Amino acid sequence: MRKLEGKTAIITGAGAGIGEATARLFAAQGAKLCLCDVAVESVEKVAESIRAEGGEAIAIKCNVASADEVKAMVQKTIEAFGHIHILINNAGITRDMLTPRMGEEEWDLVMDVNLKGTFLCSKYVLAKIEKGGKIVNTASIATLGNPGQSNYSASKMGVIGLTRTHALEYARRKINVNCVAPGAIDTPMLAKVPEKMREAMIERIPLGQAIPPVEIAKAHLFLSSDDANFITGQCLFVDGGMSVGI
């Protein structure tokens, strides 16, 4: 039997990269999917591709930093599928620069999407999620410190604190809340990093390469399945050993 048969999952940031890889893996494991992204054309293409392969998926344009859009997204998921069992808080952005040059706009935007967005999606899904449900948030190797990412690092450390708190608040309802901390992932976001910086980053990975998005998707699948029923409040680093060497 497929691991997510009969389950409904919401995946934010599902238009590309880790979110797309997670959507495709979850569909293969039997999940019904609500795929969300601000890039509506991209996420619609992912949903169409999954439906063409026999899966069930809807695409919704959603800015996770907007309470009204998040509430509407949750309601549309209920209307489409009747239940919510899994939430993957994957949407995230970067606005990198050293602190003296970082303005409030760059700080606020990253905080709004990465931390507030995780809070809002969790808040409104937790009001509807089934007993035994799973929430998987997204932290980062940057929580260990990374020059030029004070906004991003702080937002992702906040996600870890949020994860632990929600795990405690909802344990009695048998809701598991965990997070995954990716390292250098082979996504369009990494491709935007200057070549020399990107090469230096990959050299710091003990396993010797950037992590394919599907490897994060596999961690999402594990933490969203019954295999993880007694794991909650944890942060799983999927980074090729990078955090060990820091």
pLDDT tens profile 100-119: 999 999 999 999 999 999 99
Average pLDDT value for the chain: 95
In the chain, what percentage of residues exceed pLDDT 90?
85
Q: Looking at the predicted structure, is the pLDDT value of residue 1 above 90?
A: no
pLDDT at 47 over 70: yes
**212 has pLDDT over 90:** yes
**Amino acid code (one letter) for 89:** N
Prediction pTM value: 0.95
Indicate the helix (H) or strand (E) that contains 183: none
In degrees and rounded to multiples of 5, residue 51 shows phi and psi of -65, -35
Say which range, 11-25, 82-96, 202-216, has the weakest mean pLDDT.
202-216
What is the edge-to-edge ordering of all strands in the sheet holding 8-12? Answer: 56-61, 32-37, 8-12, 86-88, 134-138, 176-182, 235-238
For the ranges 72-76, 170-174, 205-209, 213-217, the lowest mean pLDDT is seen at: 205-209
**Tokens representing 162?**
């949020």
Name the architecture of domain 8-182+214-234: 3-Layer(aba) Sandwich (3.40)
d(CA 157, CA 181): 10
Higher-confidence residue: 133 or 193?
Answer: 133
Residue 33: the pLDDT is: 98
**Residues 187-215: what's their mean pLDDT?**
83
Does the pLDDT of residue 193 top 80, yes or no?
Answer: no
Map residue 138 onto helix, strand or coil. Answer: strand
Q: How far apart are CA 197 and CA 194, in angstroms?
A: 5
Residue with tokens 């609500």: 34
Residues known to be catalytic? 152
Which whole number is the average pLDDT over 211-222?
97
pLDDT of residue 197: 74
pLDDT at position 199, please? Answer: 82
